[in-house]
Homo-oligomer: A and B are copies of this chain.
Amino acid sequence: MMPNTSLKKALDHLKSQGIRMTPQRHAILSYLCQTMSHPTADEIYKTLEKKFPNMSVATVYNNLRVFKESGLIRELPFGDDSSRFEANVSEHYHIICKNCGHIEDFTYPCITDIEEIAAKATGFKIDSHCVELHGLCVECQK
């Protein structure tokens, strides 16, 4: 979830990069900024279809790529069948329910030291890391 100011910031960011604003683009970005979930491209498409009956999936995919390349959104690297996206690009981790697929954000004191240690051990030049936790969500434990 992001405050509404984030949408404005995102719009300005795109404008400054010379990327045109279209109704579809605005809708996708707006949806991503206000949702707490981590939708797939298809979920975004199905949600916005009501407002834009003629919108195509290709448009959703194209714009998700544009936003990702602009650094406005992040593609989640889970081994799911389809990719998921989120507008929250701040440092945080994810917990995934292995039963229902529900994903929650989770902040944790950043373990940046793992990057340094890994860099020394392997010679890699590391620029990011991510942590994924798997288990059962509250609902699915019942």
Contact = CB atoms under 8 A, between A and B. Distances in A.
Interface residues of A, number: 38
A133 B124 contact: yes
Interface stretch (A12-20, A47-55, A57-65, A106-114): A106-114
A43 interface: no
Given A78-B77, A79-B77, A134 B126 contact: yes
A135 B126 contact: yes
Interface string A113-126: 01101110111111
Given A78-B79, A118-B95, A131-B129, A123 B138 contact: yes
Contacts of A115: 133
